[in-house]
């Protein structure tokens, strides 16, 4: 049951108004085809924008904690909070770290995890190649993709381990680029 208390608690945790939470809950409920108060990966795969996005599966996976196959409304809101514009971040603190979910560091960590499939805290050449293939399809040869991956790792890898750590990742992403990790999914009302 979605109560006024739940709504108030969500407003305290995420930088959205009561009306925005109500609209997001309505969207969440419309996506919940199993009508069990949780979303499955299949529910997300029915969203046309994710279905056609080359990184759609990775974005969908970001909604699910490791080992989980469903996400409740609070988890849904928590993941969406990463996409809020940075200037909204004072009201968007992560209770576990005190760092806003939509801070530069958390946005970069979210993006880093889209690449780091095996969750070993580094992006390997193979992981980078997988993302490049998803993004460009068959328009570029494997040799060209390999060259792009090698050059990217060479430029970012400062410790010589032939992979990109989170620390190295944060140093090569320009500050302005982090703003592009934001979307306005609800206008303020």
- Kindly state whether residue 173 falls inside one of the protein's structural domains: yes
pLDDT at 51: 86
pLDDT at 189: 45
**Which of 65, 81, 97 delimits the end of a domain?**
81
pLDDT at 87: 59
Same domain? 69 vs 114: no
pLDDT at 106: 86
| pLDDT tens-place values along the chain, 189 residues long | 444 444 444 444 455 667 777 888 899 999 999 999 999 999 999 998 888 888 888 889 989 988 899 999 989 988 888 877 775 444 555 555 567 777 888 888 988 998 998 889 999 999 999 988 888 877 889 999 999 999 999 999 999 999 999 999 999 887 767 666 665 555 454
pLDDT at 12: 41
Domain range for 30 is: 7-81
116 contacts 123 by C-beta, under 8 angstroms: yes
- Kindly state whether residue 91 falls inside one of the protein's structural domains: no
- Kindly state whether residue 75 falls inside one of the protein's structural domains: yes
Same domain? 113 vs 179: yes
- Indicate whether this model's pTM tops 0.85: no
Tell me how many domains the chain contains. Answer: 2
Long-range CB pairs of 180-187, under 8 A, 24+ apart, other chains included: 181/82, 181/83, 181/107, 181/108, 181/110, 181/111, 182/83, 182/84, 182/85, 182/86, 182/102, 182/107, 183/83, 184/85, 185/24, 185/80, 185/83, 186/16, 186/20, 186/23, 186/24
Distance CA 128, CA 69 (A): 25
């Amino acid at each position: 049951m979605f109560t006024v208390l739940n709504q108030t608690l969500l407003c305290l945790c995420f930088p959205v108004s009561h009306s925005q939470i109500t609209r997001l809950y309505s969207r969440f409920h419309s996506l919940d085809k199993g009508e069990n108060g949780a979303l499955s990966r299949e529910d997300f795969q029915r969203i046309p924008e994710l279905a056609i996005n080359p990184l759609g599966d990775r974005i969908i996976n970001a909604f699910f904690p490791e080992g989980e196959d469903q996400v409740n409304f609070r988890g849904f809101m928590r993941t969406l909070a990463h996409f809020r514009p940075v200037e909204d971040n004072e009201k968007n603190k992560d209770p576990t770290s005190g760092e806003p979910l939509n801070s530069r560091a958390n946005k970069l960590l979210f993006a880093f995890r889209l690449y780091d499939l095996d969750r070993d805290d580094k992006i390997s050449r193979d992981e980078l190649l997988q993302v490049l293939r998803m993004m460009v399809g068959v328009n570029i040869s494997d040799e060209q993709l390999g060259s792009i991956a090698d050059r990217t790792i060479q430029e970012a890898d400062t410790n010589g381990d032939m992979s990109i750590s989170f620390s190295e990742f944060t140093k090569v992403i320009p500050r302005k680029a982090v703003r592009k990790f934001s979307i306005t999914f609800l206008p303020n009302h």
